[in-house]
Amino acid sequence: MKRVEVKLAVPIVAPLLDVIREQAPGLREVSAGVTGLPDADDELREAWADELLAGQRGEVDALLALFGEEFFREGVVAFDGDNAEVILRACAAVRLRLREHALKTVGDEALETGELEISRLPRETNLAFRCYVFLATLQEVIIQHLDESILGG
C-alpha cells in the first residue's frame, strides 16, 4: 500500500491546528452532523449514538496525533492504509463542526467554492475558514493519492 507524505509549512498550519483543538471538546460530546436514528427505541438510539461518538473521539485524536512533535520538527504528515479512513472521517467531522458553529454566518456555496473575501472576515471566522479549506485539502490528498483498496473500494 502506498504511503503519502505531505510537507506543510508549520507557521501556516500551526494556527489552524489551534482551531481544530478548539473544536475537539465539542466533538467529544456530540457526533458531528448526526441527528439521530429514526424509528428506533431510546435504548437503541443511545447505543448507536454512543458508538458513533466513541469512534469520532478516536478519529479526532488520530487527526491531532498527525501533528505531534515530528510534525513541528519536520513539517511532514503521512497517510497510509492504517490511518487514511480515520483521518478522512476526522476531517469531515471537524469540517461539519466548523460549518455548524464557527462558519454558520458563511453561506454553504461560499464554503464549497471558496469564493469569498477572506480578508474581510473577522479574525476568528477567517481562521475557521482557512482550517475548513485545509481539512478539505487533506481529504483530497488522501483520496487522490492512496489506493482505492485502502478506502474500502
pLDDT of res. 148: 61
Considering Cα of 126, then 139, then 23, then 99, what sign does the dihedral take? positive
Q: What amino acid occupies position 42?
A: D
pLDDT of res. 153: 53
List of residues 6+ apart from 85 with CB closer than 8 A: 150, 151, 152
pLDDT of res. 89: 95
Per-residue pLDDT in tens (0 to 9) along the chain, 153 residues: 588 899 999 999 999 999 999 999 888 776 655 555 566 677 766 776 777 777 888 999 999 999 999 999 999 999 998 999 999 999 999 999 999 999 999 988 888 887 888 888 999 999 999 999 999 999 999 998 876 655 555
Q: Name the pTM for this structure.
A: 0.84
